[in-house]
Amino acid sequence: MRNITLVIILFFSLCNINAQDVQFNAQAKSAVLAGEKFQVTYTVNKEGEDFRLPALNDIQVLMGPSIMTSSSTQYVNGKVTRSNQYTYTYILKGDKPGNYKIAPAQITVDGKKYNSNSLNIEIVKNEGSNSANTQQSNSQSSDGSFSKDDLFIKVFCNKKEAYLGEPIVVTTKFYTRVNVNSLSDQNYPDYRNFIAQEMTDGGNIELSYENINNKQYRVGTLRQTVLYGQKIGVQNIEATEIEFLIKQRVRRRSTSIFDDFFDSNYRVVKKRTKSTPFKINIKPYPTKKPASFSGGVGDLNMKLTTSQNKVKVNDGITIKVVISGTGNQKLISAPKFNFPTDFDLFDPTSKNNLTNTTAGMKGSKTFEYLIIPRYAGNFTIDPLKFTYFNPKTGSFKIITSQPIEIEVERGEGDESVSGGTYIPGSVNREDVKFVGKDIRYIKTGKSHLKPKGTFLFGSTLFYLAYIVPVLLFILAYLLNKKKIHENANVHLVKNKKANKMAQKRLKKSAVFLKAKDHEAFYDEVLKALYTYLSDKLYLPISELSKDKASQLIEERGVSLVVKEELISILDTCEFARFSPSSGATEEMDKLYKKALENISKLDSQIKS
């Protein structure tokens, strides 16, 4: 019997698979060099026949189609999932520069014809030889130097104006005509007053080609970030600064033509580039926010469901509110219900199922509310109003749910239980009302009586009531005057608050430690130490270095052990910022504790 059931499940699962829609897609690079071979791939999720490639003007077909088939089957919780993929690969080449549009290909599946998407490919003029490396090397002068036009970075922002919470895409690209070996230092803006979501994973950078001012560049995207403005007004975005390691070829002098032909030396030099800072204007909402607005911005929808509508006293009911669509769902706070007083309420929990896209967060955020009725009866929960702002229309949208009807039956016996106390089932908290203040409270306890004829005037307490406030006023005036004098000395204030500010920054790094964000953790520890040293040594951060700090703290009486420990922490952080994968959580935790101890030692040893 079990085998027959399994066969039936497989049969219906396979039937369901056959009912899936046909997906026919084409992929290729967006830009290639003239004369360079490139690959175009067509994939379809069902077996087809009569595959037809469109006409290719000025583009040659060197090889193809190369057909590859792959399939996978999964059996999870009694459900069978099977997927097939058929891949048709062509090798093409274009010799004439220009922009080309490859029309959709065609394939027949189950007697029906399907078209793929079209492709846009730019064939870029190849200035030098067929080798990209040779071309890049030719852009350098004979002495190995290069101009600022041979390597630079640009930061693109898709919007210069946006509403609060509206997604803004910032893309950082580099353009090069030289051999870039790697990146040694990357300083990106901290995006104050924004919430930033990274789109790139920091892996391999895929290069393309672009022509700028009749010069051919290799272009790579370093980072793509989606920003959500949190403060109204013009926000200054600082410049991005990146240091590249460039591989240069240096020829050695030789008297032999064979040495020139076979031998060449390479050296790696550093090139620091900087983008242009820019501004983004964050606009307020054009109208007053409704009371039900919980921070949602985008194109959103709401769905409300209840686990059950008919329960017994003390049974739990779960209400789910799902906010879906594209926007800033992660930043939305829980919508507020108006629950009856006869329910015990618990704080709502939230769960995100979101994907970061250039249009914003795509997916859903689910809020779950647990309520427990304590008394029998029929109850109505008022409709939930969910309000969000749509930046496309520039207006607020309100979605209203249906009211929730809940029928609560008595439990076993004639009494309801609440918090361990038995209350007659006929009593309902909604029946208890405030009836006025006609009954006065009678004070109990021991009374304190005074002899007749006793007066406050002329007594010791009477004179103290005048003298004490005067003395307190004089003391407060002197203390305030001293505080004003101390606050006038900016350096002294920073010196006193240096330890407190460093501890605050280290607490922020602890948050990154828990989130296992290695790069942000090391960067925050480094900032905490340098800010502390700047405030303690009366020296701007821009003029502060490890050597300078080492010299100054030694002059202030710091021991050699504490100084060396500080330099070790700084070296570890600077190295780990650019090699985040090398830091384990245990090592980060040790470094965090070590930094706390070192700041305490420095604070006790540095002489003002």
Q: How many domains are contained in the chain?
A: 4
Task: Report the mean per-residue pLDDT for the chain.
Answer: 78
Query: 88 and 141 share a domain?
Result: no
Q: How far is CA 48 from the centre of its chain?
A: 42
Mean pLDDT of all residues in 592-600: 83
Cβ neighbours of residue 38 closer than 8 Å, sequence gap 6 or more = 28, 29, 32, 91, 92, 93, 121
Mean pLDDT of all residues in 377-399: 91
Separation between Cα atoms, residue 601 and residue 490, nearest integer Å: 24
Q: How far is CA 260 from the centre of its chain?
A: 52
Query: 145 and 275 share a domain?
Result: yes
Q: Which residue segment(s) compose the domain that 212 sits in?
A: 132-283
Query: 16 and 118 share a domain?
Result: yes
Residue 430, domain member (yes or no) = no
pLDDT tens for 8-27 read 545 544 444 444 588 888 88
3-state per-residue secondary structure call for 263-323:
CCEEEEEEEEEECCCEEEEEECCCCCCCCCEEEEEEEEEEEEEECCCEEECCCCEEEEEEE
Provide, rounded to the nearest whole percent, the portion of the chain with pLDDT above 90: 19
Query: 91 and 22 share a domain?
Result: yes
Residue 475, domain member (yes or no) = no
Amino acid at 71: S
Query: 412 and 310 share a domain?
Result: yes
- 345-354, 581-590, 599-608: which range is least confident on average? 581-590
CATH number for position 50: 2.60.40.10
DSSP helix/strand/coil, 333: coil
Q: Is 170 left (phi over 0), alpha (psi -120 to 50) or beta?
A: beta
Residue 443, domain member (yes or no) = no
Query: 196 and 236 share a domain?
Result: yes
Higher pLDDT, 370 or 252: 370
pLDDT tens for 53-108 read 888 877 888 777 878 887 776 655 556 667 778 888 888 888 888 888 888 988 99
* 351 secondary structure, DSSP code: E
| Kind of pairing between the strands at 310-312 and 343-345 | unpaired
Separation between Cα atoms, residue 325 and residue 303, nearest integer Å: 11
Query: 208 and 339 share a domain?
Result: no
Q: Give the confidence band of 161 by pLDDT, cuts at 50, 70, 90.
A: very high
* 103 secondary structure, DSSP code: P
Query: 244 and 155 share a domain?
Result: yes
Residue 464, domain member (yes or no) = no
How far is residue 449 from each of residues 9, 443, 459, 604, measured CA to CA in Å? 91, 15, 18, 58
Residue 473, domain member (yes or no) = no
Length of the chain: 608
CB crowding 579-603: b at 16 or more within 10 Å, else e: ebeebeeeebeebbebbbebbebbe
pLDDT tens for 305-341 read 999 999 998 888 999 999 999 998 888 999 988 888 8
Residue 441, domain member (yes or no) = no
Amino acid at 350: S
Mean pLDDT of all residues in 378-401: 92
Query: 398 and 510 share a domain?
Result: no
Query: 120 and 140 share a domain?
Result: no
Identify the domain boundary among 257, 283, 309: 283
Residue 469, domain member (yes or no) = no
Query: 112 and 137 share a domain?
Result: no
Residue 458, domain member (yes or no) = no
Identify the domain boundary among 124, 141, 166: 124
CATH number for position 506: 1.20.120
Separation between Cα atoms, residue 53 and residue 370, nearest integer Å: 58
Query: 354 and 303 share a domain?
Result: yes
Identify the domain boundary among 91, 124, 157: 124
Please say whether the beta carbons of 86 and 94 come within 8 A: no
Q: Single out the residue of 305, 311, 325, 326 nearest to residue 368, CA to CA.
A: 305
Number of neighbours of residue 445 by Cβ within 10 angstroms: 5
Mean pLDDT of all residues in 215-236: 90
- 116-125, 144-153, 441-450: which range is least confident on average? 441-450
Cα four-point dihedral sign 130, 133, 136, 140: negative
